[in-house]
Amino acid sequence: MVNQRAGILGTGHSYPEGILTNEDLAKLVETSDEWITTRTGIKQRRKAAPEEYTSLFAVRAARQAIERARLDPSDIDLLLCATVTPDQILPSTGCIIQAELGANNAAAMDIVAACSGFLYGVSLADSMIRTGQIRHAVVVGAEILTQYVDYTDRQTCVLFGDGAGAAVLGTVENGRGILASKIRSDGRYEEQLFSPGGGTRRKPTAETLAAGDHYFKMKGNELFKVAVRSMAEISREVLDQAGLKSDDISLFIPHQANQRITEAVADRLNVDMSRVYSNIAVHGNTSSASIPIALDECVEAGRIKPGDLVLMASFGGGVTWGAVLFRW
C-alpha cells in the first residue's frame, strides 16, 4: 500500500546510573554551578562508567520501545541508530543492536548527523513506511559523549551527557501520525562543532591523541545564532506544510542543547514555555539521544495525550537541523 500514514507506536529510553554534577565539574575545571546554570540551564548530566558503551543503552531503549509497541523484534524491518559515538568503526552500532535484540529481519545501519540524527532517522523511516517499503522501523539515538570531552575546556565539558532513546514507527490510522518532516544540513559550518581526530584525515596517532584532536570542539557564540535561526525556520516550514500554526502546538520538544536556545526558539515561534518540554537540567546535551529521551519522558509522564499535536526540532554539528510534526 502506498501513501499510508506512519506514526510512533512505542518509545523507550535508558541512561547510565552515574551522575556528574556541576559541583563535581568545579573540582576538575575552573567553573561553578552558578556559571554553568546561568549559561546553559544544566545542573547535572549522566556519565557512563569506563566499561559501559553506546549499544548497551541503545539496546535497552529499543527493547522497551518494541515491547510498548506490542511487537516482536522479528517484526522490525528497519533499524536506524543515530550516533556520533559508535561502539566501533565496523560493523555499525545498528548491526550490533540488531544482533542483541534478535531483530534478524531488519536492515540495520547508523546515521551520523549529530544532534539531528534521531529526526533524520524518523524522517527516513516515515518515507519508507508511507511508500510501503517497510512496515515497522526502530529509530534509536544513543551516545556516550562524556568519553569525548576535554575536561580542561569549560566551554564544552559542562554540556554533554550520556544516554539513549528509541521510537518504533509503523502505520497508523488517518488523522494520527507524522504530518510533516524536513531535514537539512550545511557543511560550510563544519567547524562550529566538530571532532577532527580519529578519521583518515587526522589519523589516530600518539600525536593526535596527545593534542586532544579526538575531543569535541565548539564555537559556542556563533553556533547559538545559527541554531536558533535554523530550528525556528524549519519548525515554521513543517507547520506550513501541514497547514497548521504555532498556536495549534500542544507540546514542543526541542533538542536539549542549551536552555537559552530552547527559550529563544520558543519565543521566535510564539510558543509559551508551558508548552515546551525541557529536561536539560538533569540530562545535559545528549546529542542524538536528547529528543527520544525527552519524548519517552513525556509519554511516561502523560504530557502527551491522544490527539495532541507535537513538534520536535533539532540542530547539531555538521551543521544539521530538522523538524518533525506529528499527531499523537
What range defines the domain where residue 14 resides? 6-175
pLDDT at 219: 84
Alpha carbon distance 149, 44 (integer Å)? 15
Do 217 and 140 fall into the same domain?
Answer: no
Alpha carbon distance 326, 175 (integer Å)? 10
Question: Which tens digit of pLDDT belongs to each residue from 183-213?
Answer: 999 999 999 999 999 999 999 999 999 999 9
pLDDT at 316: 97
H helix or E strand, kind and range, residue 63: helix 54-68
Do 138 and 15 fall into the same domain?
Answer: yes
Do 188 and 282 fall into the same domain?
Answer: yes
| pLDDT(315) > 60 | yes
Do 34 and 133 fall into the same domain?
Answer: yes
Alpha carbon distance 94, 97 (integer Å)? 5
Where in the sequence numbering do the catalytic residues fall?
115, 255, 285
| pLDDT(225) > 80 | yes
Mean pLDDT within 7-30: 97
Do 22 and 88 fall into the same domain?
Answer: yes
Question: Which tens digit of pLDDT belongs to each residue from 135-180?
Answer: 999 999 999 999 999 999 999 999 999 999 999 999 998 889 999 9
User: Which residues neighbour 243 within 8 Å (Cβ) at sequence distance 6 or greater?
Assistant: none
Alpha carbon distance 140, 12 (integer Å)? 9
Alpha carbon distance 121, 141 (integer Å)? 9
CA angle 80, 105, 134 (to 5 degrees): 65
Do 182 and 323 fall into the same domain?
Answer: yes
E-strand stretches of 54-171: 78-82, 107-111, 137-144, 162-171
**Among 140, 157, 175, residue at a domain's last position:** 175
Using 50, 70 and 90 to split pLDDT, how confident is the model at 220? confident
Total of domains in the chain: 2
Min mean pLDDT across 11-25, 182-196, 207-221 is at 207-221
Question: Which tens digit of pLDDT belongs to each residue from 252-302?
Answer: 999 999 999 999 999 999 999 999 999 999 999 999 999 999 999 999 999
Do 310 and 188 fall into the same domain?
Answer: yes
